[in-house]
Amino acid sequence: MNQLEQLKQYTTIVADTGDFQAMKAFAPRDATTNPSLILKAVQKDEYKPLLEKAVRDNVRLPTGDVIDRLLIAFGLEILKLIPGRVSTETDARLSFDTQGTIDKGRALIALYEAAGISRERVLIKIASTWEGIQAAQVLEKEGIRCNMTLLFALPQAIACADANVQLISPFVGRIYDWYKKSTGQEYTGADDPGVQSVKRIYNYYRKFGYKTEVMGASFRNTSQIVELAGCDLLTISPELLQKLAETQAPVARKLSVEEANASDLKKLTLDEKTFRLMLNDDAMGTEKLSEGIRLFCADAVKLEKMVEALR
């Protein structure tokens, strides 16, 4: 078996792309999108009709509502190709607005349900700020499942689990980027700080019986992916899925409940003050969260300009 086939024995594979044509070859169970991936997709000729239709059919709606319908259009096409769930992201500019995030999550689910898709097949992606996590807790109680993104640090993961969210997406590659830049070192295999972060979160969740799913995300190379074999889910770009499919090297399970139970992790209790202090003490987590929100906000603005140019 190739590495992708071996990996599927231990882990649920998710396609990380807005290019739904690219995911056909790899048969993922789920798929994730974000504003940057959608922006990239609508600049391709094959996806421009989706953008044009969203604008044409909703010409009287505010630009933000048109974009919501564009996101849903992508989600609906993706759901035709996969058996599982699609993740659709809320506006990153709501990252510090609990009620705004709740309202947006409800609105996105309502659009999916109006299109005949049950809420069980959708994950609403929300930034892992304190405000975002509180919004997710409310949405989860309403049966709206959430995928907490831009997650870089253990306190974010603990707060998400305490809020009973469905799934978290710790960003392996961006953690690696930060440490490589700050130390000047190259990291591979189990020494990769991004890999170590996800392992720690996975072990914490399994040791203390949390049901929240862990989905490693934002990979830079296949070494990072193989080192997380056994993680609940891994969301992988089409380029790296292709590399895994072309490689025959063995893949062994690296994460397990047995290893988690044997770890020396201690259970932490977080209130808002403790969360903010712990995250503030983590320079990498603080910087990458802020940067990620800024980048997603910038791409949301670019998408708005594309919509407005077509009106």
Where do we find the tokens 């070494």? 223
Burial class (CB in 10 A: 0-12, 13-18, 19+), 283: exposed
Beta strands (DSSP E) in the chain are: 12-16, 30-32, 86-89, 122-127, 146-151, 167-170, 213-216, 233-236
Give dist(CA 275, CA 271) in Å, integer.
Answer: 6
Strand-pair partners of 167: 147, 213
**Cα separation of 29 and 235, whole Å?**
10
Residues 142, 165: contact at Cβ < 8 Å? no
CA distances from 273 to 244, 278, 280 (A): 42, 9, 10
Q: How many residues does the chain have?
A: 311
Tokens of 85: 């769930």
Q: Which of 125, 207, 254, 288 is catalytic?
A: 125
Q: Within 10 Å of residue 92's Cβ, how many Cβ atoms?
A: 25
Q: Are 278 and 153 in contact (CB under 8 A)?
A: yes
Active site residue 125: yes
The residues with which 126 forms a beta bridge, in sequence order, are 148
Catalogue the active-site residues. Answer: 125
